[in-house]
Amino acid sequence: DIQMTQSPSSLSASVGDSVTISCRASQSIYKYLNWYQQKPGKAPKLLIFAASTLQTGVPRRFSGTGFGTDFTLTITSLQPEDFATYYCHQSFSFNDAFGQGTNLAIK
Amino acid sequence: QLQLQQSGPGLVKPSQTLSLTCAISGDSVSSNSAAWNWIRQSPSRGLEWLGRTYYKSKWYNDYAVSVKSRLTIIPDTSKNQFSLQLNSVTPADTAVYYCARRVGSTVGGYWFFDLWGPGTLVTVSS
C-alpha cells in the first residue's frame, strides 16, 4: 500500500500569513494527489485535485504543487476561515489513502 | 440539489453488523462517471477509505484489504442509494462514517472525492 506522510502535523500562524504544508508519498503517484480542508464536525471539503487544479469556488489563495512523491499546499494571506485541518489524499493506487492531517491553528 | 444524505444507527453492539445507507440527490448511483464510496475517520486511524461500488456496464465493488472479509457495499437503483454492511464489529470500528462520490477530472482522469455526506458517528459498545 502507498503511505502518505504529511508535515508538519500541526502549525500555528496569524491572519495574513502564508503557510506551506507538505505531503510525501511512499512511491510515485504522478499527479494523483488531492487536498482537503476539514473543520470540526464537518466532512472534508475538496480544495485541489490533480496536485495543482483548484476546485471550483475555492479561493485563489490556495495553491498546490508537486509531482511524483513530493507535494505542497500553500495558503497565502491566511483568512480566519482557513484555520482548520488539511489532508492530502492519493488516488493513484487501488487503495485510496490519506495523510494523517495538518492542524492549522491561529497564533 | 446535489447532496448525499446518510442514515443508520449510531450505536452497534460488538459482534453485530453495522449498517448505513447513503441516499443520493442530484446524481445517479448508476452513473458511468462516478464511484460511490464509504470512508471512516477515527482518532487512531485517521481517514480510512473502506470501499466503493460503481457501474460500468455492470456493477463492481472494491474493498480495502483491512475490511474486505467483513464489508459489503450494495447499490440500490430503485431508491438511488447505496449501503454499507460491516460484519462482526469491534470497538475498533468506532468512527465517523462518511459516504462520498469519487469522480475523475475531465483532463487526465485524476480521481478525487468531490461530494461528501455529513457523516455518522457510530459507536461500537455493549
Range of lowest pLDDT (A32-41, A77-86, B38-47, B103-112)? B103-112
Chain A CB contacts of B118 below 8 Å: 42-43
Interface test with A, best of B2, B50, B112 (most A CBs within 10 A): B112
C-alpha to C-alpha distance for A59 and A56, rounded to whole angstroms: 9
pLDDT (0 to 100) of residue B109: 86
pLDDT, average across residues A81-86: 98
Cell 459498545 belongs to B125
- Give Cα separations from A8 to A3, A24, A104, A106 (angstroms): 16, 11, 10, 15
pLDDT (0 to 100) of residue A97: 97
Question: What torsion, rounded to 10 degrees, do the Cα atoms A104, A54, B101, A43 define?
Answer: 20
Tens-digit pLDDT profile for residues B108-120: 889 999 999 999 9
Interchain CB distance below 8 Å, B49 and A96: yes
Query: Min CA distance, B79 vs chain A (Å)?
Result: 24
Q: Which chain B residue shows the shortest CA-CA distance from A43?
A: B118
Between A49, A97, A99, which is nearest B105 by CB? A49
Task: Please give the share of chain A, as a percent, with pLDDT higher than 90.
Answer: 98
Pairing of strands A102-106, A10-13: parallel
Between A49, A96, A98, which is nearest B110 by CB? A49
Size of interface A-B (CB pairs under 8 A): 61
Single-letter code of the amino acid located at A62: F
pLDDT (0 to 100) of residue A66: 98
Q: Residue B106: is its pLDDT beyond 90?
A: no
Task: Name the 3-class secondary structure at A53.
Answer: strand
Instruction: Let me know: does A69 contact A28? Beta carbons within 8 Å.
Output: yes
Interchain CB distance below 8 Å, A91 and B105: no
Beta bridge partners of B111: B104
Tens-digit pLDDT profile for residues A14-63: 999 999 999 999 999 999 999 999 999 999 999 999 999 999 999 999 99
pLDDT bin (cut points 50, 70, 90) of residue B92 is very high
